[in-house]
Amino acid sequence: MDHADGLRLGRAWVDDWNSHDLDRVMAHLHDDVVFSSPLIPVVVGEPSGVLCGKQAVRAYWAAALERLPDLHFHLLGVTVGHDAVAVRYENEAGRESVELLIVDHDGLVVRGAGTYGSPTELT
């Protein structure tokens, strides 16, 4: 992945989440994606905090969007590595987060991790 492609992915990631169109977000994922987040146990009850496969991630994100109808990300920055993109943003509650996206040769996310600058809560 070149730097420009990584920047485009990071910006599209935030734009697609802000659209609340889950199909747009899911289009970035490989079918066999693995995603981890400390919110997974809270939202879908998976104690490991890790989900495998596009359908499991979709169910998690659909449940999260249902709980957070005002979800909105303000992009703070995108950094790009060889096969990774880090998307730094502030959410609607003012909490800073980084999502790390590892991509394959086609630019699809094969591994993702949600990280948070402060403890998070879903209402």
pLDDT digit string, tens, across residues 47-84 = 999 999 999 999 999 999 999 999 999 999 999 999 99
**Closest Cα partner for 87 from 71, 109, 119?**
109
pLDDT of residue 120: 61
Residue 107 lies in a domain: yes
Please work out, in degrees rounded to the nearest 5, the angle formed at the alpha carbon of residue 77 by the alpha carbons of 71 and 79: 125
Residue 121 lies in a domain: no
* CATH for 77: 3.10.450.50
Residue 85 lies in a domain: yes
Domain residues for 33? 3-116
Residue 101 lies in a domain: yes
Residue 122 lies in a domain: no
The number of domains in the chain is 1
Q: How confident is the model at residue 123 (pLDDT cuts 50, 70, 90)?
A: very low
Residue 62 lies in a domain: yes
Residue 13 lies in a domain: yes
Q: Are strands 109-116 and 29-36 parallel, antiparallel or unpaired?
A: parallel
Alpha carbon distance 68, 77 (integer Å): 23
